[in-house]
Each structure stands twice: as C-alpha cells, then as structure tokens.
Chain A
Amino acid sequence: DQQVKQNSPSLSVQEGRISILNCDYTNSMFDYFLWYKKYPAEGPTFLISISSIKDKNEDGRFTVFLNKSAKHLSLHIVPSQPGDSAVYFCAASEGRDDKIIFGKGTRLHILP
C-alpha cells in the first residue's frame, strides 16, 4: 500500500529551466511533508518541508506547493542547475508518529 506516490521515475530538464517534481498521497492524516534529495552512495539530504496548514513554502530556488484537497504536492526548482541532478524523495508524516513515509523517488537529470 503506497501512501506516498511519485509516479514519475525520472525527469529530464534543461539547465536554467524550471524542474517540477510531483507527489501524491493517500493518507489524509498526514500533516507534515518533506522533500529529500539523494546522490548515489549518500544518505537522503533534507531540502524543504511544509506543514499541512500551509499551501506554499519557499527556500531559495526551492518551493513546495501543497494542495490538500487533491492530496498533491510538488517541488519546484528554479532555475535548475547541474548539481540538482539527483533522486528526489517525497515524504510525509502523521500526527505524533515518528516515522517518515517515503515515496519511491524521481530521478532528475539536468541537461546542459
């Protein structure tokens, strides 16, 4: 049962353009959402998060949008840079639970 779904296994974007990574979730009790970035042979690195009481959070080139009615969130990267090439994981947590539920990830390729 996939509670967090990332339906695009990979995405290619031209350098300088906007990268949009999408994520859907099924558990309406999730109240906190996170995006992690992962390079090969490294652990997931925290990028940005959003509480369910907000619909947008911005940090530099990264913006996360949350649409609770659609149970959908997205990560926008503007402008995309070569170092952004990595696997991006959408993740969520519920209430007082400690655990984070991860999606399967989307591999982002930034093209020169």
Chain B
Amino acid sequence: EPEVTQTPSHQVTQMGQEVILRCVPISNHLYFYWYRQILGQKVEFLVSFYNNEISEKSEIFDDQFSVERPDGSNFTLKIRSTKLEDSAMYFCASNLPGTGGRKTQYFGPGTRLLVL
C-alpha cells in the first residue's frame, strides 16, 4: 500500500539554524500538508499546498516557514531560523480528493525536531 514518507526521522539543531524537513507524498495525490505536534499537545495544522502554491496557512506559519515542491515527488518544509518553541513532531500529509472521502488526509511517520 502506498504511503507518505518523511526524512529525517529525527533532527537536532541549534537555535537560529535553518532546517529543511522532507516528505514524499503518495504519488498520485494532489494536495499536500504540514502539521506539527508539540509534546503533550494536539496535532496542529500549519499549511496546505496545491497546484504549486499555498492554499491555506495557519497563524503558526509565519515568515520563518516556507514550503516547496522542488520536483515531482518531494514536498519540503523549511524553517529559516529555528526557535526553541519550534521543537515538535512535524507530520506531512497528502490527499487525493475522492479517495476515502473528500477530506481524508494520509499522514507520514513524522520528523522529530529538537531545537537546542
């Protein structure tokens, strides 16, 4: 069964450094998402991406964040200058409307980001 993959599984970085989290969505999916889960809190929406542009973003997704689909398979989340509070589990998700329901998003295993 096709699945969303994410790399790396863990990332440790110093505050102020740039990080890039990578995702390979399910191949025929058209909508791509990033969510995050701070330890002990709920999963929060960050951004959605369709047709090579952001379709929706949350208040969390400020100017320090950017997303890109650099080729036909990868979907990346960049945090330009990391802060301590960016430490969280970051999940990528993808969706093809019509499969499993209009809004059913399929999630990757996550990247655990630790900012020191």
Contact = CB atoms under 8 A, between A and B. Distances in A.
Given A45-B107, A46-B106, A99-B58, A104 B100 contact: no
A25 B62 CA distance: 27
A49 B104 contact: yes
Contacts, number: 62
Interface residues of B, number: 28
A48 to B, nearest CB: 9
Contacts of B98: none
Given A99-B48, A99-B56, A34 B43 contact: no
B91 A44 contact: yes
A65 interface: no
A102 B42 contact: yes
Interface in A76-112: 89, 93, 97-105
A29 interface: no
Given A43-B4, A102-B44, A105-B42, A97 B104 contact: no
Nearest to B6: A43
